[in-house]
Amino acid sequence: MPGKALTERPSREELLKEYEFCQKTAQSMESTIWQTGAAMSVGLAGSFLLVSLRSAQEQPPWYLACLAGPFMAGIAFLWWLAARRWWSVQHAMFMRMRHIERRLGLHSLSYVRYLDHPETLPVRDLARYEIDDLRQRSSAKHTIGIGRHQHWGVQATLWLLPIVILFAWLLYAFVLLVTQLAHSGW
């Protein structure tokens, strides 16, 4: 049985199946990012606490902490690079889902885009009250000025993780250096 010709458009059922596939893939990517991020964070924070909370006599030399900092930050950076790829795959799935929604006249995934960028609201496809709800939600602020609908993604802040880890280890190494110099009588 031959496949569809390239000029034939997929049926509604085929598009809905593809939409479901994209949704599952995006959810899988999200799960992978959070699970690996949690495991890595626990490992990095745990190793820092394991070393730094030792008694003064069991503390390593300061230069070992200087070496551990870039090593641990490097691990976090490599994870961040992998996570960015996973986010790329996830957002490709989101893009395809928006394309399918447009073809089928659906809006569920597009609502996030409408909230992030209310200027993209399709005024023909939605009822006036739906447009008003989306615009109101998009612009509403909490009392401290943070938007009710945040469109900063995790990527906007997670790039700081390797820097924070490096800074923590280097600060720890500096404290060790000062402490070890003070105990040596220098």
**Region of poorest pLDDT, from 33-47, 91-105, 108-122, 146-160:** 146-160
Domain boundaries, the chain: 15-33+62-177
Query: Exposure string (b/e) for 38-61, b if CB count within 10 Å is 16 or more?
Result: eebeeebeeebeebbeeeeeebbe
**Region of poorest pLDDT, from 18-32, 70-84, 131-145:** 131-145
Find out whether 116 and 98 touch, Cβ atoms under 8 Å: no
DSSP 8: S
How long a stretch of residues is the chain?
186
pLDDT digits (tens, 9 = 90+) for 6-38: 678 999 999 999 999 999 999 999 999 999 999
* pLDDT surpassing 60 at residue 1: no
One-letter amino acid for residue 18 of the chain: E
Region 164-186 average pLDDT: 90
Find out whether 132 and 28 touch, Cβ atoms under 8 Å: no
pLDDT for position 138: 83
Q: What is the value of pTM for the model shown?
A: 0.74
* pLDDT surpassing 70 at residue 152: no
Region 151-165 average pLDDT: 78
Give the Cα separation of 40 and 124 in Å (integer): 46
Give the Cα separation of 115 and 83 in Å (integer): 25
Distances (CA, A) of 135 to 39, 118, 124, 141, 153: 38, 6, 15, 12, 20
Give the Cα separation of 28 and 98 in Å (integer): 18
E strands present in 6-108: none
pLDDT for position 146: 64
pLDDT for position 145: 62
Give the Cα separation of 67 and 40 in Å (integer): 19
Strand partners, 141: 147
